Amino acid sequence: MKRALTLCCGLILGCAGVAQLPSSTPSYAKRLPYAFSNFVWWSDDELRSQLVRRLPGLGDEISPVDASETRIRQTLIAMLKEKGIVAEIQIQEPSTFDLTAQRAPGVPAPAILFKIMSPQITVKSVFVSGISDADADQLRGRLRRLEGQSYSNRQDWLLRQTAMQLFEPNGYLDCTSEVIHDAPQKNGADYSVNVLVDVHPGPQYHISEITADGGPLLAGQDLSQYITARPGDIAGQSILGRPGAALRTLYSQHGYADVSIEAPPIFDREHAKVAYHLHVIPGPLYHLRTLMIRNLSDERQDAVRQAFEMQAGDVYNDNLISSLYRKLASDPQFAGLSFSFIPLKNPESGTVDLTLNFFKQTDKSTVTVK
């Protein structure tokens, strides 16, 4: 039996891209759903129905590293052998990080995955239907990279997302896609399938109204400078692009490091209209509590503290860290040195403990955060 445990770096990106370790390691799930990657001779429902018939008592979840995995694998091998296919099947178990990390919309839930490793099953061609020839050519151009690659239905969400990324910015906010494949074709010892992406763009939406609440820093002010979209414009994801970035920058400079900007669409599907209410959620106001400087002499530490424009008790502003980086880069006594930084935030107290880790720039194991 060949088994693979899917590994993923368990680092979580914190403020400004600083890698921070999780505070605790969650326990691994005792039971998990299972899924099938590339059993192209059956639909998912057909495959599960046959497995339940051959393995009485099989439910929707099984225990990792358990006899159930082996029984499913052996049954799948037997089913393929009935079709004249001698197969090698791999079992991939999700990592703890996969089980706890936030997933993008549409990404399949973590599962114990059964995958045919031999014979190889690849994507022969990708076809697109349901849209104009010009749009189909554009979408097919984005999906052509999949041709010749290994087939897996676990990537269907990516095809749907690619179609959505093409249509959603142009106002097709209800765009959906169905991904199917044809019967497998034998190519020597291996197999290939053609993939069809059937796109349903839906109606094109236009903006009916935009309102905005700028939060405590902009209460009662005209926010038109932050919003370029206007009623009557085609709706799309750009409503939060420029204004969201500008507002996040403004708030982070004033100590609101956890600020979030929301503008959920309010649909009038009968008239293909959408309204937006831009809302700032500032989060806690942070102040610098402590500053720790590592790997420098006392004299150089004093120089850093004098150059740094943020002292204990000041409103926390990570832009000042970039300013410090530029200052030290031009200071001869810090030639050949750089630093990374780790801000440990405490939302309950609204404080930040900041650590600056200095290192020689020849040390390739450390990443400079500017």
Please say whether the dihedral angle defined by the alpha carbons of residues 145, 151, 153 and 154, taken in this order, is positive or negative: negative
Single residue among 52, 83, 118 that ends a domain in this structure: 118
pLDDT at 367: 40
pLDDT tens per residue, range 111-132: 999 999 999 999 999 999 999 9
Residues in the chain: 370
CATH (domain of 179): 3.10.20.310
| Domains held by the chain: number | 4
> Which stretches in the chain have pLDDT values below 70?
1-28, 237-242, 363-370
pLDDT, the chain, mean: 87
Residue 21: inside a domain: yes
**Sole residue written with tokens 């020597």:** 188
Give the CA dihedral 181, 183, 185, 191, nearest 10 degrees.
60
Strand 265-268 and strand 273-281: pairing?
antiparallel
Residue 225 one-letter amino acid: Q
Dihedral (Cα; 343, 346, 347, 350), 10-degree rounding: -90
- d(Cα 306, Cα 71) in Å, to the nearest integer? 67
Rounded to whole angstroms, how far apart are CA atoms 321 and 333?
18
Per-position DSSP letters for 277-303, written without gaps between them: EEEEE--PPPEEEEEEEESS-HHHHHH
User: Residue 321: inside a domain, yes or no?
Assistant: yes
- Are 43 and 193 in contact by the 8 Å Cβ rule? The answer is no
Does residue 369 lie within any of the structural domains?
A: no
43 contacts 121 by C-beta, under 8 angstroms: no
Instruction: Assign residue 47 the CATH number of its domain.
Output: 3.10.20
- Among 93, 118, 143, the domain boundary falls at 118
pTM (2 d.p.) = 0.71
What's the helix, strand, coil split of the chain in %, to 5?
A: 30, 30, 40
How far apart are the C-alpha atoms of 201 and 182, rounded to whole Å?
Answer: 23
Helix axes 319-329, 298-307, angle to 10 degrees: 120
Domain finish residue from 69, 97, 118: 118
**Residue 174, domain member (yes or no):** yes
pLDDT in tens, 7-40: 333 333 333 333 333 444 456 678 999 999 999 9
Domain that holds residue 46: 2-118
Supply the pLDDT for residue 124: 97
DSSP E strand stretches across the chain: 2-5, 12-13, 19-20, 32-36, 61-62, 88-93, 112-118, 121-129, 176-181, 185-187, 190-200, 206-213, 260-262, 265-268, 273-281, 287-294, 337-346, 351-360
C-alpha to C-alpha distances, 292 to 202, 203, 316, 325, nearest whole angstrom: 55, 56, 15, 16
Give the integer Cα–Cα distance in Å for 300 and 293: 10
Q: Is residue 367 part of a domain?
A: no
CA distance 196 to 250: 45
